[in-house]
Amino acid sequence: MDREAILAAVEAAGVVGAGGAGFPTHVKLKSACEVLIVNGAECEPLLQVDKELLHHRLPVVLEGIAAAREVVGAKRAYLAVKGKYDSLLRKIKRHLASRPWLELVPLPDIYPIGDEHLLVYEVLGRRVPPRGIPLQVGAVVLNVETLYNVAKALAGEGVTQTYVTVNGAVAEPGTWSVPIGTPVEEVVKAARPLLESGSWAVVSGGPMMGEVVDDLSQPVTKTSKGLIVLPRDHVVITRLSAQQALLRWAYSVCCQCTMCTDLCPRHLLGHPLWPHRLMRALAAGGPVDGEIAAGALLCSECGVCDQYACFMGLSPRRVNQMLKAKLGPSQRIPEFSMSEAIRPGYVDGQVPAERLAAHLKLARWNHPAPLRGMLPGGTRVAIPLKQHVGVPAQCQVEVGEAVKPGTLLGRMAEGKLGASVHSSIAGTVTAIADGKVVIERDGSDD
């Protein structure tokens, strides 16, 4: 299959970045680069999708890597996986002899090694500029599940399933292939929560960068990677839920210990991000200097500052989010420059993943989450027409219409950034509202 045919297949399938914000993959693949980096780091505690896909769907992932490398014209490809997974690394190495262009890179077990800027530095020794992208240093980075979906797209399959790890306070932790649009509650119940109803809460994503799910009827999407079940009074739940209180405390409690800056991964790479200065400016009660406020744009929102570094329980990350929202398009953004080299504390400031899990009181909930196949289907899915960066897909179906897995529900808008959306089950469209297509299952997914 030639380059244009691969791009067309990926676009038609609606492939987006499965491990992040959902940037349309066909757009990313149009870039020419020297190196393709496969992000298999999955640095958030308790999440295991990438590891399970590489263990059980490795040939398909490798097919996706080969196709992506061909499209971007990369001379080399690097598969970056945590070095602690000995058996997985041995399995991957057996496939390298026939792929001399592919190299396995064992990664340290630190957080947030999956961040693109840190990953590029660990793999290539190159630093991505502040507010920059890996392409500026000759690399394109794609997630393992994204490349799995690229391979499926070449076989004409749209993205109708997403792989989700359910972990935490559950009797059967695992990783499932879940029909997109399935309610969060159905996915969680498949793992059998250990606690009584009403006494547990769910984090969508990881415990560091995720969000507490207030409405369990919300659907999983193409970018869903993990559902973490924890007691409602667990520290992770209370911290992720306490945004407004944390902002109020920032005005009066910050003692300027600088730990948030000393452990900030982007700061350690040499980016001009100084979280403690933002906190100091707020504590002073006056207006925040424009240049200092603009530094918030460099924050990756990894959560090291609030979930690990700050012993006062404050959240520089939330402050950065607030400042980002206030920096409108008309405001002048200064030119950012990096330090000449990484900062001296780069190695010592790295956060070991095991220590992070213990600090977050997650050690008892950090279970193996083996691949358990496809989640048994429910009776209803609600599929959002926007699961990606860009504009919503344009609806292509009507209420009462019969659909099957792979039926096009929403087409990417002409000339706009976006991605197409497909049905994940066989059934009948019963509603189109609030940006979602609701489908009732008819019992036949053949």
What's the pLDDT tens digit per position in 398-407?
A: 999 999 999 9
- The CATH number of residue 171's host domain is 3.10.20.600
287 & 223 share domain: no
What is the SS3 string spanning the chain? CCHHHHHHHHHHHCCECCCCCCCEHHHHCCCCCCEEEEEECCCCCCCCHHHHHHHHCHHHHHHHHHHHHHHHCCCEEEEEEECCCHHHHHHHHCCCCCCCCEEEEEECCEECCCCHHHHHHHHHCCCCCCCCCHHHHCEEEEEHHHHHHHHHHHCCCCCCEEEEEEEECECCCEEEEEECCCEHHHHHHHCCECCCCCCEEEEECCCCCCEECCCCCCECCCCCCEEEEEECCCHHHHHHHCHHHHHHHHCCCCCCCCHHHHCCHHHHCCCCCCHHHHHHHHHCCCCCCHHHHHHHHHCCCCCHHHHHHCCCCCCHHHHHHHHHHHCCCCCCCCCCCCCCCCCCCCCCCCEEHHHHHHHCCCHHHCCCCCEEEECCCCCEEEEECCCCCCCCCEECCCCCCEECCCCEEEECCCCCCCCCEECCCCEEEEEEECCEEEEEECCCCC
Mean of the per-residue pLDDT values of the chain: 92
Residues 46 and 140 in one domain: yes
* Percent over 70 (pLDDT), the chain: 93
Domain for residue 249, yes or no?
Answer: yes
Arithmetic mean of pLDDT, 305-331: 81
What percent of the chain has a predicted confidence (pLDDT) above 90?
78
Task: Provide the residue range defining the domain that includes 404.
Answer: 380-441
Residues 316 and 423 in one domain: no
What CATH number has the domain bearing residue 420?
2.40.50
Residue tagged 């590891």 (tokens): 51
Going by pLDDT thresholds of 50, 70 and 90, the confidence category of residue 289 is low
Last residue of a domain, one of 122, 154, 186: 154
Residues 252 and 114 in one domain: no
Spatial contact of 439 and 425, defined as CB atoms under 8 Å apart: yes
Q: What is the pLDDT of residue 1?
A: 86
Same structural domain, 259 and 140: no
Query: Closest Cα to residue 349, out of 259, 419, 221?
Result: 259
What's the pLDDT score for residue 331? 63
Counting every residue, how long is the chain? 446
According to the model, what pLDDT value does residue 248 have? Answer: 58
- List residues bridging with 195 in a β-sheet: none
With b meaning 16 or more CB within 10 Å and e meaning fewer, what string describes 305-330?
bbbbbbeeebbbbbbbbbbeeeeeee
pLDDT at 396: 98
Cβ atoms within 10 Å of 172's Cβ, excluding its own: 14
Long-range contacts of 85-90 (CB under 8 A, 24+ apart): 85/51, 88/51, 88/54, 88/55
Q: Residue 353: is its pLDDT beyond 70?
A: yes
The model's confidence at residue 281, banded by pLDDT at 50, 70 and 90, is: confident
pLDDT 10s digits, 231-265: 999 999 988 887 555 555 665 678 889 999 999 99
Diameter of the chain by CA atoms?
Answer: 64
Confidence grade of residue 56 (pLDDT, cut at 50, 70, 90): very high
First vs last Cα of the chain: how many Å apart? Answer: 28
pLDDT above 80 for 104: yes
Are 14 and 117 part of one and the same domain?
A: yes
Would residue 239 count as lying in a domain?
A: no
Residues 339 and 289 in one domain: yes
Determine, yes or no, domain membership for 446: no
C-alpha distances in angstroms, 401 versus 116, 274, 398? 42, 54, 6
Per-residue pLDDT, 247: 57
Confirm whether 356 is domain-assigned: no
Per-residue confidence (pLDDT) for residue 326, from 0 to 100:
74
Tell me which amino acid residue 97 is: A
Residues 273 and 176 in one domain: no
CA angle 11, 143, 406 (to 5 degrees): 40
Name, in order, each residue with C-beta under 8 angstroms of 224's C-beta and a sequence gap of 6 or more.
Answer: 162, 164, 178, 204
User: pLDDT tens digits, residue range 359-388?
Assistant: 999 999 999 999 999 998 789 999 999 999
Q: Between the CA of residue 313 and those of 12, 236, 413, 425, what are the distances in Å? A: 46, 12, 44, 44
109 and 257 within one domain = no
When divided into structural domains, the chain yields a total of 4
Given a cut of 80, whether residue 206 has pLDDT beyond it is yes
3-28 pLDDT per residue, tens: 999 999 999 999 999 987 899 999 99
Q: Based on the fold, state whether residues 302 and 280 are members of the same structural domain.
A: yes
Separation between Cα atoms, residue 170 and residue 189, nearest integer Å: 9
Predicted local distance difference test score (pLDDT) of residue 314: 84
Query: What's the pLDDT score for residue 283?
Result: 66
Q: Looking at the domain assignment, is residue 98 inside a domain?
A: yes
